[in-house]
Amino acid sequence: MADGQIAAEGRTVSPSGDVVLAVRDLMVTFPTAGGPLRAVRGAGYTLRRGECLGIVGESGSGKSVSAAAVLGLLSKDARVEGSVQVGGREVLTMEQKELQAMRGSVVSMIFQEPSRSFDPIYSIGKTFEETFRAKDRTVTPEESRKRAVQLLSEVHIPRAEERLKNFPHQFSGGMLQRIMIALALSNNPEILIADEPTTALDVTIQAQIAALLRELQRSRQLSLIFISHDLGLVGQVADRILVMYGGIVLEVGPTRDVLTTPHSPYTRALLRALPAWGSHYTREELYTIRGNVPDPTRPEPGCPFAPRCALVREECRQAIPPLRASRAEDGERTYRCVVEGAKA
Backbone angles phi, psi at 258, to 5 degrees: -65, -40
User: How many whole angstroms separate alpha carbon 54 and alpha carbon 244?
Assistant: 11
Among 31, 275, 301, 341, indicate the residue that binds another protein (CB under 8 A): 275
Window 178-217: residues binding another protein (CB under 8 A): 202-208, 210-211, 214-215
Cβ of residue 125: shortest distance to another protein, in angstroms?
A: 21
User: How many whole angstroms separate alpha carbon 250 and alpha carbon 269?
Assistant: 13
Site size toward another protein (CB under 8 A) is 46
Question: Any contact of residue 292 with another protein (CB under 8 A)?
Answer: yes
DSSP character for 308? G
Which CB atom, from 6 or from 286, has the smaller least distance to another protein? 286
Question: Any contact of residue 317 with another protein (CB under 8 A)?
Answer: no
Count CB neighbours of 238 within 10 A. 25
Of 183, 19, 192, the C-alpha closest to 109 is: 192
Which CB atom, from 129 or from 239, has the smaller least distance to another protein? 239
Burial class for 130, CB neighbours closer than 10 Å (0-12, 13-18, 19+): middle
Question: Any contact of residue 280 with another protein (CB under 8 A)?
Answer: yes
Cβ of residue 194: shortest distance to another protein, in angstroms?
A: 14
User: How many whole angstroms separate alpha carbon 310 and alpha carbon 329?
Assistant: 28
Question: Any contact of residue 330 with another protein (CB under 8 A)?
Answer: no
For residues 52 to 91, the per-residue mask of contacts with another protein, x marking binding by CB under 8 A and - elsewhere, is ------xx--------------------------------
User: How many whole angstroms separate alpha carbon 121 and alpha carbon 127?
Assistant: 10
Q: What angle (nearest 5°) sits at the alpha carbon of residue 259, between those of residues 258 and 262?
A: 55
Which CB atom, from 184 or from 259, has the smaller least distance to another protein? 259
Residue ranges in contact with another protein by CB under 8 A: 58-59, 156, 172, 202-208, 210-211, 214-215, 229-237, 255-256, 259, 269-270, 273-281, 285-289, 292-293, 308
